[in-house]
Structure 1
């Protein structure tokens, strides 16, 4: 750099629009007609939802779509590690009643990592072995993610005074989630949940993904970044918004109450969950995930006698577009789709994590393979400087 070149220092609270890395994993953009679309590794989300969740997970982790043998082997790997150790089930039984299900998931994940085959592997403490570390991250991360459906469902059933249902080795990731919730894994329901899992899998460098990247950059153990990312996902500005969006539908109840409910919220300056996004092209246009979830959710809701939910959905959408120029984000139709499937509202965000876990894993793998540095941003200090240094007064004189 030319020593006479002036360096411009700026502060951007929240890193809004500030690139922090390069990535080839996911892209939010607009298609040739100007409509928002989500791409995974360059493939359209509209195409990927036609296949199983495991196929798209493989794509994100490895960069290419699997052939039949590769997909079968990967699916077997997940199934082989989906059953909980009895010690994990006993641990879940010790939790207090009424515990938040995201707390249950994060805590139980931290417990089951201590039972993992690589828990005592100290490779992560050895710098500069990035390729070996990436392999460790991949294998440990897949094993950890494979257990999330069982942790969610067993934890929920224990909380309800019921016995856990073991995973069925013949069922897919999505089908097992339903099965372990005692929801019949009928093909139409499995397809719907499979789609939800694919839609939630990755979404560029969002808050939880960035958290995973920051934690991994410290070169901690292979499990901690994937557990740490659950903390921001719980937040109501991130994944937790889907639970509050679902609660909103419960509070509204009938289409006739929708307008007064929303207008009262807006007049009081309250948030309407399920609308808006930090990505600019999602402001007033429906993103591809919304379009897909609507397309699947509407007919299923009608079949189950829950068509009024999408009547409320449309009324809210019209009001928000008119009053705030905001289109629904993915949380709004997905929370309805999960409700139609019979998934308890309290499990919305844990199911989000069951999917996004593998997106986080893909991102930390990319970072480790690229020999990523330690995240260490700076700040703009606004307190007293050396010229205004404050005089210390001993405690007995204060």
Structure 2
């Protein structure tokens, strides 16, 4: 079974697979750079190849080696990652590089258990690194592979359930060949990403269609079984945009817990009254201007954001003494890790200012926004 499966998949890959991805470049004949493979695997978790390409090129241009990553400060790493989301991946990547320098001679270990023990590297990612960088026979089971195997074998149940995942791992191992492991690993990921896609799979182009259970039984729309749905809650926050006459914006480093942990973001408050109290602790100011609200969707909830602009604010003393608060100009913003919606908000604000245009509020002044005297 595995030979036929792998042979058909590799023959398809030779004709239709992706062979020119930047992390596939050989560092020596028949050998790929394990650092680049590792970086690509972490970036590709929950992110598509088309999105990753530009980020990958910028990241390796700035930090071309594992040692360079280990020696970089966290702000540099998060700035290069900014926009990819799931920032815990970047922090784990950074910490894993430091551990490799401390314990593995500045290289990713070739031992599976040692590699899988590093932050952010689980069983599938370790297998993918060892298979693609060193040609070692280890199966993988990312989201694309789960979809291919669940459909091909007609495996019901959500892949995140223990028994279902165990069966998928058994199938993944059975199909992994002893030779051309790097090509096979890329092939099965490519098939899931380009042919056996989540919606409307291109079964006519699939080399495995002849004995695929889901295609035979008309189950491609229901396999793999979807995760049981939960109502997604909505939370609200007021983001404070404090900007001085020089155009600098006050940023605050978020704590180690919660979303966007460790990134620089805008100060926040639960409502407009609290926003005034927070703003007045940091600056002297006269008025506030509500901007267009927006929603940012996380994996487990929706965040309703109300930005509140305090323009021409005057910084109070003490900000410079707080390492988690800083006034930032455009150059600073480019060098820091900011959440994508915060960066977009600040870029939208800066456009009219650079052109010498007045900043028009996106909405009329909110009745919930008290004046300085009311606060």
- The TM-score with structure 1 as length reference comes to 0.21
The answer to which structure has the higher helix fraction is: 1
Name the one with the larger strand percent. Answer: 2
Greater Rg by CA: 2
- Relative to the length of structure 2, the TM-score reads 0.22
Select the structure with the greater relative contact order (CA < 8 A; seq sep ≥ 6).
1
